Chains A and B, each alone.
Chain A
Amino acid sequence: MRFKLILKSVFHYMKHRKFAVAVSVVSIALAFTFLSFTGSVLFAFAHSASDNGIKYPLIIGAEGTSDTQLVMSTVFHLDKPHGLITDDVYKEILADKKHVIDAYPIAVADNYKSIQLIGTNQQFVDWIGKGYVAKDSSVKGDLLSDDDIHRVVVGYEAAERASLAVGDTFSGSHGMVGSAHAHHHANFKYKVAGILAKVNGPEDYAIYSNYKAVWAVHDNMHHEHSEHHDEHAEAKTEPHDETAEHHNEHAEHHAEGEEEHHHEKGMLTSGKLTAIVVRTVNPIATVEMESIYSAREGTTAVNTSKTVRRLIEYMNTAEKAVGIFSYAVLVIVLLMISVTIMMGINERKRDLALMRSLGVGRTAISSMVVIETFIITALGLLLGIVVGPLLLLYFKPALDAAMTVNIEPFIITNIEIMGIIVTLIASQILALIGMIRIYSMNLVEEIAKN
């Protein structure tokens, strides 16, 4: 009966301070939503990293490439490849039946609307893919066979982003990101032969072609450049007035394309690859091959699991830092709520004194603070639990595309569970402080003072 009365009284006061209560609830919900975002994004990163460590056990690239750069460029398509290796290495790896189940060539140099064009083979697409949502029915056999190197297979999200459908044709631009100044490979047209089913990974955001197509494009580009240089050399002998403009254009062209032109460093022409993805027979074979190809001149090998584990360790540290920050925000919000509640109590001292004179005990009166704090905190958390995943669901497409991961909005991560526990405990500790203050307060004297 008494508890019911106290509860009724609490709801009555909350109703009177609607705005303050609403602000408090929303503050907790927002702080919790931030925590929820952090937990889900970091989980998606760890998930993607771990899955790709399984899919791409070993990556072999050019000597001098860092582990992270090789993994980022080959697996996540987030960085540019560094240097080239010859396809003899690929052939040699394919022949190594002791260590290798299969190996896939990777040749990356171009993009289409900032989506990376990855030169590889049909086996690679079969390994990473889960079938097709659309396929050119006129093609007999493999889509990326050597019969027609113009055919490409497009990742699910890439097809949506670039509005590509089966049968569409396009040409790539040189470099990893779309740029107005980038060299446009207009002479070589790609034709969409298939759209991959969604795999919830970085593969959704790429376009796959036959690696020999990448060679053909760059052999052609190399040839064009040689001719262009010859023309330029000849032009130097002509009168200055006529060629001044051409000279400037040539200089600009070279300055703008410095990064993307591998002209001096070595173009991705026939017989060259940017990386080789190796599927090994077991983790021991991965370690052995990593050791062999890291020691060899001209190549470097990356054990993806090891690199991914290191990335996850960094992320765990980041998660702890963000977690502490988020908990601190939650505690600050709770402190503000406590102050608001205490101010509210000061305002209703007269009512409380009346209740006291009617025989309601000190404990019952002081427990009102605890109940009110608990209700506000619980409502805030509930709102955060509901709103957080919904907001994440709304932002998912943009976040997935930006980070090439698959965010699962409705997963409850450990950081969120900890957030709920910390918020509830902290709120009750703060409420207890308020409760003690009211318990030790002589309400009649306090009113008399006023």
Chain B
Amino acid sequence: MKKVIIAVAAVLVFVTVLTVLRPGKKGSEENVLPERTEQKDDLVKMVEEAEKAKETVKEPDSSEKVEKQEVLPEGEGDISLRDSYSQHGQNSFIKPNMKVTKGKTPEKIATVEANFAKPLSITFFGLKKIFMYHHIKGFYPDKIANGFNGIAATVIGTIMPVETVPESGEMKRFWLANPKVVMSGCIFCNPPTLADIIYVYHPDKPEKPFQIDREKLYKQVTMVEMTGRFFIVPGSVAGTEYLFSMELKDYKILN
């Protein structure tokens, strides 16, 4: 009887060990996403504060209005979109293939010093908010335009390679994407926008080069927390175009 109990106990231990060490468990969505949702959304707060501040400011006179309309992007689609926004506010319908207004705002954007002692926590939800604001109004809120470009920030997202990953696993540039874009079964149902991807690149002399286990990268959705200087000025590298970018300083692989 004693022997049977010992044998059963041994089998149970074996099964438990196998279950604990089971591969792929670490990479599951449930293990990763709660951390993301718990993240404090400083960016959303900033945009909301900026919107509130705008609401309290008195309406500009008609001459100012005309001047501002000239700055906004031209075209029927843009006008109907703008009208829609003014009628329905934040709940207005946004088309998935909306084009970012280029050439109007970069000169107004100030670059700030990065303070890595207190990095700003950014979420893709927050980025979408400023992306939409920019799209509809044609410019960023003042607080974003003057205090956001070049800021030290942390973002959590999934890795999407831009180029073939070398055997060393060291990646010099890649996309940091909204996990929902990668994990959702139907990307047509929830079409991504340029706010769902951040172009991450190494500085010339990186403090901590980004290195990843290739097997993990190829076989599962890899979640990382990136810390670096965040930029909101659109750019292009070897044909690859982006709206948001980050100069990598530090990173933490989460799964």
Residues of A within 8 A of B (CB): 43, 46-47, 49-51, 54-55, 98, 101-102, 279, 281-285, 287-288, 291, 303, 305-306, 309, 312, 315-316, 319-320, 323, 327, 408, 411, 413-415, 418, 421-422, 425-426, 429, 432-433, 436-437, 440
Given contacts A281-B240, A283-B175, A291-B191, contact A436 B6 (CB under 8 A): yes
In the complex, what residues of B have CB within 8 A of residue A281's CB? 236, 239-241
Do residues B99 and A413 form an inter-chain contact, with CB atoms below 8 A? no
In the complex, what residues of A have CB within 8 A of residue B239's CB? 101-102, 279, 281
With A305-B160, A309-B182, A425-B17 given, name 18 new contacts (CB 8 A). Answer: A43-B215, A46-B215, A46-B218, A282-B175, A282-B194, A283-B175, A283-B177, A283-B181, A283-B197, A284-B192, A284-B194, A303-B187, A306-B187, A429-B10, A432-B10, A433-B6, A433-B7, A436-B3
Which residue from B21, B165, B197, B236 sits with its C-beta under 8 Å from A284?
A: B197
Do residues B21 and A421 form an inter-chain contact, with CB atoms below 8 A? yes
Report the Cα distance A279→B197, complex, angstroms: 17
- B163 within 8 Å of A by Cβ? yes
Which residue from A284, A316, A418 sits with its C-beta under 8 Å from B196?
A: A284
In the complex, what residues of A have CB within 8 A of residue B3's CB? 436-437, 440
Do residues A418 and B21 form an inter-chain contact, with CB atoms below 8 A? yes
Report the Cα distance A309→B167, complex, angstroms: 20
Do residues A43 and B218 form an inter-chain contact, with CB atoms below 8 A? yes
Report the Cα distance A2→B203, complex, angstroms: 60
Q: How far is the CB of B193 from chain A (nearest CB, A)?
A: 6
Q: How far is the CB of A284 from chain B (nearest CB, A)?
A: 5
Q: How far is the CB of A435 from chain B (nearest CB, A)?
A: 11
In the complex, what residues of B have CB within 8 A of residue A320's CB? 23-24
In the complex, what residues of B have CB within 8 A of residue A102's CB? 239
- Which of chain A's residues has its CB closest to B219's CB? A46
- B97 within 8 Å of A by Cβ? yes
Report the Cα distance A280→B168, complex, angstroms: 27
Q: How far is the CB of A303 from chain B (nearest CB, A)?
A: 8
Report the Cα distance A50→B13, complex, angstroms: 37
Report the Cα distance A282→B175, complex, angstroms: 9
Report the Cα distance A319→B23, complex, angstroms: 11
Report the Cα distance A101→B217, complex, angstroms: 25
Report the Cα distance A426→B10, complex, angstroms: 9
- Which of chain B's residues has its CB closest to A432's CB? B10
Do residues B97 and A55 form an inter-chain contact, with CB atoms below 8 A? no
Chain B, residues 239-255, CB within 8 Å of chain A (1/0): the string is: 11110000000000000
- B188 within 8 Å of A by Cβ? yes
Q: List 9 A-B contacts (CB under 8 A).
A: A43-B215, A46-B215, A47-B214, A50-B165, A282-B240, A303-B187, A319-B219, A422-B21, A437-B3
Report the Cα distance A415→B215, complex, angstroms: 10
Q: How far is the CB of B10 from chain A (nearest CB, A)?
A: 5
Closest 4 CB pairs of A and B: A101-B239, A46-B218, A281-B241, A50-B218
Main secondary structure of the interface of B (DSSP, over half): mixed
Given contacts A282-B241, A282-B242, contact A312 B219 (CB under 8 A): yes
- Which of chain A's residues has its CB closest to B14's CB? A429
Do residues B23 and A414 form an inter-chain contact, with CB atoms below 8 A? yes
Which residue from B10, B17, B99, B240 sits with its C-beta under 8 Å from A433?
A: B10
- Which of chain A's residues has its CB closest to B181's CB? A283
- Which of chain B's residues has its CB closest to A39's CB? B215
Do residues A415 and B192 form an inter-chain contact, with CB atoms below 8 A? no
Report the Cα distance A50→B161, complex, angstroms: 9
Do residues B215 and A288 form an inter-chain contact, with CB atoms below 8 A? no
- B162 within 8 Å of A by Cβ? yes
- Which of chain B's residues has its CB closest to A414's CB? B23
- Which of chain A's residues has its CB closest to B17's CB? A425
Q: How far is the CB of A369 from chain B (nearest CB, A)?
A: 14
Report the Cα distance A287→B196, complex, angstroms: 12
- B57 within 8 Å of A by Cβ? no
Report the Cα distance A285→B100, complex, angstroms: 12
Instruction: Scan residues 183-230 of chain B and give those whose CB is less than 8 A from a CB of chain A.
Output: 187-188, 191-194, 196-197, 214-215, 217-220
Report the Cα distance A118→B243, complex, angstroms: 36
Residue of B14, B197, B218, B220 most packed against chain A (CB within 10 A):
B218
Do residues B14 and A426 form an inter-chain contact, with CB atoms below 8 A? yes
Q: How far is the CB of A207 from chain B (nearest CB, A)?
A: 23
Q: How far is the CB of B108 from chain A (nearest CB, A)?
A: 24
- B77 within 8 Å of A by Cβ? no
Q: How far is the CB of A196 from chain B (nearest CB, A)?
A: 16
Q: How far is the CB of A342 from chain B (nearest CB, A)?
A: 13
Which residue from A288, A306, A316 sits with its C-beta under 8 Å from B219?
A: A316
Do residues A51 and B14 form an inter-chain contact, with CB atoms below 8 A? no
Instruction: Scan residues 1-39 of chain B and give those whose CB is less than 8 A from a CB of chain A.
Output: 3, 6-7, 10, 13-14, 17-18, 21, 23-24
Given contacts A281-B241, A425-B14, contact A54 B194 (CB under 8 A): no
- Which of chain A's residues has its CB closest to B99's CB? A98
Given contacts A50-B218, A320-B24, contact A287 B192 (CB under 8 A): yes
- B87 within 8 Å of A by Cβ? no
Which residue from A283, A288, A421, A433 sits with its C-beta under 8 Å from B97?
A: A288
Chain B, residues 164-182, CB within 8 Å of chain A (1/0): the string is: 1101000000010100011
In the complex, what residues of B have CB within 8 A of residue A408's CB? 167
Do residues B193 and A312 form an inter-chain contact, with CB atoms below 8 A? no
Do residues B192 and A283 form an inter-chain contact, with CB atoms below 8 A? yes
- B96 within 8 Å of A by Cβ? yes
Q: How far is the CB of B23 from chain A (nearest CB, A)?
A: 5
Do residues A429 and B13 form an inter-chain contact, with CB atoms below 8 A? yes
Report the Cα distance A229→B211, complex, angstroms: 63
Report the Cα distance A433→B12, complex, angstroms: 13
Do residues B218 and A284 form an inter-chain contact, with CB atoms below 8 A? no
- Which of chain A's residues has its CB closest to B236's CB? A281
Report the Cα distance A283→B196, complex, angstroms: 10
Do residues B164 and A55 form an inter-chain contact, with CB atoms below 8 A? yes
Which residue from B13, B23, B162, B188 sits with its C-beta under 8 Å from A415?
A: B23
Report the Cα distance A259→B177, complex, angstroms: 43
Report the Cα distance A319→B165, complex, angstroms: 22
Report the Cα distance A279→B163, complex, angstroms: 12
Report the Cα distance A281→B234, complex, angstroms: 13
Do residues A50 and B217 form an inter-chain contact, with CB atoms below 8 A? yes
